[in-house]
Every structure is written in C-alpha cells, then in structure tokens.
Chains A and B, each alone.
Chain A
C-alpha cells in the first residue's frame, strides 16, 4: 500500500455534482425532526385530550347547574349573589377552569424548558449537530425543519388549549358566580396571547439552548427568562400600564354608574369644582343626606372611579400578543443570525 498513488477505480454511477435532491433532503431533515420530537408531540396531544375531556365533563355540569334556575335571580356585577335559604354565596364550580387558565399561563415556561431548550441544546451538548451536518443537509435545513415542526406544534397545541378555555369559560364568563374577564386566569390564560406566549417560550428556550452548551443550564435560564417575562406582563396588567383605565364620573351625590363587568383599579374618590381629586375617605358615606352634606361642606361637585371596561379585554390581548409575538420573532431572528457563528 505504501508508495505511489493507488489506481483509483472510477466511481460507480454517474457524477453527482449539480443536482442534489433538495426536496428529498428536506423530507429527510423533517423525518429526523419528527423522529426526535414525536414523544413531545405525543405528550402535547395527550395533555390537550385530557384538558378537552375534563372541559367537556365540567362544562356540562356547569350548564346543568345554570339550567336548574338557581342562578336566575343573580344580578350582573361583581357582587356574589346568595342562596336564599343559607345565605351562602352562589358559585359555579370553576376551579378546574382556573387550573386550565393557569396551565395556559405557564405554557411559555413549560414549552420553553421541555421543547425549546433541548431543540438545539441537546445536539450542542452531545455534539450530534456535527454528525447531522456531516450528512447531506445544510445548517439551514437542519434548523428550519426542527424549529418549524416545534413551532407548528406549539401554535396548534396552545391555540387549541386557548380554544378549549374559551369554550369552557363562555357560560360562566363575566358573572359573579363565574369568572370575570379581568381575572388573571381568564385575561392571561385565554385568547391569542396564549399562542404568542407559547411561541415566545419556544423561541427563548431555543436561543438559550444554542447559547449555552448544556441542556440543563439552558432549561434553568429558560425558566428565569420566561417566568420573568410572564410576571412582568402580569404586572403591567395590574398597574394598567399599557391599557390606561377610563374615569367614570357622576355629578353630585347621584348614584355612580354601576361597576358591572368593569375592572376597577380600586381608585375612586371625590372631585372639587377646580377638578382636584381627593380621597374617598374625606366623605366616607355611601349615599344619602350625610354624603350630600359632607360634599357641600368640602366643596366637592362630583364623584369618580377608575376602571377598564369589558371591551378592554381585547386591548390587553392584542398588546400582549404583539409584545410576546414580537419577542418571539426577535429571538428567532437572533437564533438564525447566531446559528452560522455558533454551530
């Protein structure tokens, strides 16, 4: 074998330069993505089926309770109505519904940790991306196929979970015996923002898996980032930072417009002729002569309270969707840019 070059036999088959079977390679990288993510897809489908089954069971119980006529005398508004005989508050069993809402709120964390972080991180940790990239597929195909499968599954799963929540919630929506739109599990656990949040979790986990070399580290950081973002958005809800409340005023001591389905900020009080707003404790009387007397004495001409009307549900939803969806796009773009340098 030593010495002069060995005579190389001509290669069997025709030369292969020119037209690699790109379509087939796309199929191949999708096959690999499916082969590696099928367990996760299965778990997602099982969670969805379980949620749907519980929802169907619980919702029919809810409808039965409503049909019994027990709740017919309840007024709209935030105050619970009571049972005529015992005086206990009348409530639907919405506890399972709030669990689903909580699951939907936690989706970005769960998907980020278990789907995003290992998506590139597992290959980075094992070095297997080098083995895959030593085959015929390109970096771009490798990333695009696995991220696309994960993203599509995330959208379908989170969309259906949000849909199940909406369907389940509808009979109990915005009633004192049910769940108001502004309660955390409803406001953040339903609607398009759930889908955007899940995609954000996936994108954050994917990027962190690319940046750190270890899956466990990526998972830990993903928990931090997604949980912090979720809590930050909750804080903007509570402080009405992005959706300012409306101020409802009523002249003199006439009754205030009913709170109804509005989300109170807890900020209410008295207004002077010059427009100054004072604390309600300056005239702590519900209504009537005392109130009128006190208001005249202090020079108050009107009363006010601040609240977000029910229609603001969609304003909150679209702002959250834009913020989380924008972050998801941004993080995905960063991932794509870093992909060429890091892998």
Chain B
C-alpha cells in the first residue's frame, strides 16, 4: 500500500477550523500530505491544533474551510469509519463494562474485527478479561482502548497523546505493540506526543503545528539531513544569511549555538553537528515568531 498509487494517509487542502463562528482559528490554511505507510509524529505546543486535527481526521469535527481526506475518503463516511481508527486523548471506555464486554462491543460495532489480535494486545498486558474497565490502571485501560482501536484492523491509526499518563515501562510496551502492528500490517500511524525522545526511535514523518498552522510536514531523514546545529563565536552571526534559515539561536557569552536549515555551503568558522530529531523539533517548538511567516512558507516549499 506504499507504492506511488497508494492514497495519502492524510491530505489537507486549505484546511481551517474554529470552534465558534466568531472565535479564533484552531487550524488555519493547513496544506499538507502525509504519505501512507508512515509513522507520523504530530508535534506542536499546547493549543497548536493537534487534537483538533485528529478529531477532524476521525470525523468528530467538520472542517470550517477547505478539506481533509483520510486515505482519500471523507472523514466520518462509512468508508472512512471502516478504515480509520481514532484513539482520543481521554481514551473513553464504558467503566462498568468488563474487558471482555468491551472487546465484544468492538466486534459488534465493526464490520471487520480481528478478535485474536485484540485479545492478544490485552493479554500481553496481563489484563484479566473479567476485570471491570473502571477498575483498571491507566496503563491497562490505555491497552484496552488500543486493543479496541487495533481490533478493527485500521489502515490508518490516529492516536492523540496515547502515552500521556503512562509510566515509562508501560510506554515502551505500548510503543512496541504499535510498532509491531505497523510492521506486520503496514498500518499508517499518526500520533501526537510531547515526549520528543520517544518519537526519535519510532517516527519517520513529522507534522509540526504551530498556532494552528502547519510548519513542517517532512520525512524525518530528510529533515535531519537538511538541518545542522552550529556552534561557534557569536560575532559571526552575520554569515547565517539566506539561503540558510535560522530556526533557533541560543547565545551564552561569546559562544552561540544555532539550529539552521542549511542550503548550500556554510561560511564562517562553525563546529557543525547533525541534529537529532529531538533537537530539530524542540528547536522549532521553542523558536519565537522569528521563523514565521516568510520562512515558514519556505520550509513548506522545501517539504
């Protein structure tokens, strides 16, 4: 499903959304394509529009302007519902259902259901099927919610901060489950997270939102190759002019550390390092309004 003919996992054109008719835009002028078969990190600060985007993709909200397509389908249509799974941040489940009831509900409410896979995800967590969902630990209930999301064998899995309330061990386990799913079935995954190191090892596409606009939508490897962390004397700042873009600049005394998107050879005396994904993302997230708006357009064009 990852050939050139494969539909994009997510495609937005002129996408905008606001919660109230006269309120501020939660998302605005979003234009991006996430190829299928990728594990995408959806990154942004609080209020950047990550959850809004995922809810739009899940069909819970309708775009105010423009359009969003999931696997070329309109979110919320029967076709999209069959092929897309969304796990929202609060991971709601019926507290009085047992785990077995919850999985049974998944089987009843979906036209395709992989019972073995769903039960295996639950069993791997050591969760008794007779336990009431309301009495499970956060890690266990996340696992049950994930079993519900994966049991329908989605082609696209949308996860809104799935790991937020989990301990590191549970996090690792759930991430491993997701990776296995993606590797075995070619499932496209879009997951929003604040834990940047976690994304480093798992994601191969980045979608970065800032204030409701898309700042990056790029392959991770391409992103790392096009960016550089420069360390050197602060007085050679003037060498970092166009075509390079300075993402973030940190000065300490006469020393300066800069994250740039590099285009062409560098001038000046710099110690150059290949950044980790985490460095790039935190650079973009922490950057002030300096990058926008002109430069943001450039990064998008590069993407």
Contact = CB atoms under 8 A, between A and B. Distances in A.
Contact of A3 (B6, B183, B204): B204
Contact of B81 (A21, A27, A138): A138
Interface in B135-149: 145, 148-149
A226 interface: no
Contacts of B82: 16-17, 20, 136
Interface stretch (B108-116, B164-172, B263-271, B292-300): B108-116
Contact of B95 (A13, A27, A126, A133): A126
Nearest to B110: A136
Contacts of A137: 81, 109
A131 B88 contact: yes
Interface in A12-51: 12-13, 16-17, 20-22, 24-25, 27-29, 31-32, 35-36
A135 B109 contact: yes
A32 B109 contact: yes
A96 interface: no
B87 interface: yes
Contacts of B92: 126-128, 130-131
Contacts of B152: 135-136
Nearest to A340: B62
A135 B94 CA distance: 14
A11 B1 contact: yes
B155 interface: yes
Given A3-B204, A6-B182, A29-B109, A133 B60 contact: yes
Given A5-B37, A5-B204, A134 B58 contact: yes
Contact of B112 (A7, A9, A16, A343): A16
B220 A8 contact: no
A9 B109 contact: no
A126 B37 contact: no
A2 interface: yes
A131 B148 contact: yes
B221 interface: yes
A233 interface: no
A2 B186 contact: no
Contact of A2 (B108, B110, B204): B204
Contacts of B108: 27-29, 31-32
Nearest to A25: B111
Given A1-B204, A2-B221, A136 B186 contact: no
A311 interface: no
A62 interface: no
Contact of A9 (B90, B186, B200, B277): B186
Counting chain A CB atoms within 10 Å of each CB, the highest count among B6, B81, B185, B221 belongs to B81
Contacts of B37: 5-8
A134 B105 contact: no
Interface in B76-126: 78-79, 81-83, 85-88, 90-95, 97, 101, 105-112
B38 interface: yes
A139 to B, nearest CB: 8
B179 to A, nearest CB: 7
Interface in A275-308: none
Interface string A114-156: 0000000000001110111111111000000000000000000
Contacts of B90: 127
Contacts of A68: none
B205 to A, nearest CB: 8
B112 A8 contact: no
B71 to A, nearest CB: 9
B111 A16 contact: yes
Interface in B7-50: 35-39
Contacts of A84: none
Contacts of A16: 82-83, 111-112
Given A2-B203, A343-B60, 17 more contacts: A3-B204, A3-B221, A4-B221, A6-B182, A8-B2, A20-B81, A28-B107, A29-B109, A31-B105, A126-B94, A135-B81, A135-B109, A135-B148, A136-B81, A136-B109, A136-B152, A138-B81
Interface of B: 1-2, 6, 35-39, 58-60, 78-79, 81-83, 85-88, 90-95, 97, 101, 105-112, 145, 148-149, 152-153, 155, 179, 182-186, 200-204, 219-221, 277
12 contacts: A2-B277, A3-B221, A5-B35, A6-B2, A17-B83, A32-B105, A35-B105, A128-B93, A130-B88, A131-B93, A134-B86, A137-B81
A-B pairs with lowest CB-CB distance, top 5: A8-B186, A28-B108, A135-B109, A127-B92, A8-B37
